């Protein structure tokens, strides 16, 4: 996520450590793309950790330690349940329904922002690519 990278820690040049999914051991391999087996349990199941300045770490902290963050987490979980399980809308209280609505609106807003950014970048490229007179 650093430097506007949307790929996560796997694509971050500053991410230097990995952890084993099985035993949770952390280590700093020579190459995070090919960390090799876990030095503790020998398994090959690893994930790249975020770098120290990753904005996603701050986001995760705020989500875990705020009322709004907890509501967002509940809305995301409920959204999944509604899509993948047999959850009847009559089982969803008004507050949760409002959270789902806000989640959808925020996603739409983000999509519009990304489309506008892409449009602006295309315009800038067009200006730079125009033949000089």
Residues 78-126 have pLDDT tens digits of 998 888 888 888 888 999 999 999 999 999 999 999 999 999 999 999 9
Average pLDDT over residues 39-49: 90
- pLDDT for position 1: 42
pLDDT band at 49 (very low <50, low <70, confident <90, very high): confident
- pLDDT for position 40: 94
Residue 36 lies in a domain: yes
Rounded to the nearest 10 degrees, the angle between the axes of helix 67-84 and helix 55-64 is 90
Residue 27 lies in a domain: yes
Beta carbons of 99 and 72 less than 8 angstroms apart: yes
Query: For residue 26, which of 36, 14, 42, 40 has the smallest C-alpha distance?
Result: 40
- pLDDT for position 9: 64
Compute φ and ψ for 48, nearest 5 degrees: -80, 130
Give the count of domains, the chain: 2
Residue 54 to residue 61: CA distance in whole angstroms: 12
Range of the domain at 19: 7-65
**Final residue before a domain boundary, out of 65, 85, 103:** 65
Residue 73 lies in a domain: yes
Average pLDDT over residues 24-50: 90
- pLDDT for position 15: 82
């Amino acid at each position: 996520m650093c430097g506007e990278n949307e790929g996560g820690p796997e694509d971050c040049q500053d991410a230097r450590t990995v952890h084993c999914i099985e035993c949770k051991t952390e280590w700093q391999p020579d190459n995070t793309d090919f960390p090799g087996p876990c030095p503790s349990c020998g398994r090959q199941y690893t994930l790249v950790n975020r770098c120290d300045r990753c904005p996603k770490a701050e986001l995760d902290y705020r989500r875990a330690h705020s009322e709004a963050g907890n509501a967002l987490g509940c809305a995301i979980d409920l959204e999944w349940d509604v899509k993948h399980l047999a959850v009847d809308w009559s089982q969803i209280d008004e507050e949760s329904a409002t959270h789902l609505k806000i989640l959808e609106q925020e996603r739409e807003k983000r999509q519009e922002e990304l489309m506008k950014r892409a449009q602006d970048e295309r315009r800038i490229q067009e200006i730079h690519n125009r033949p000089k007179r």
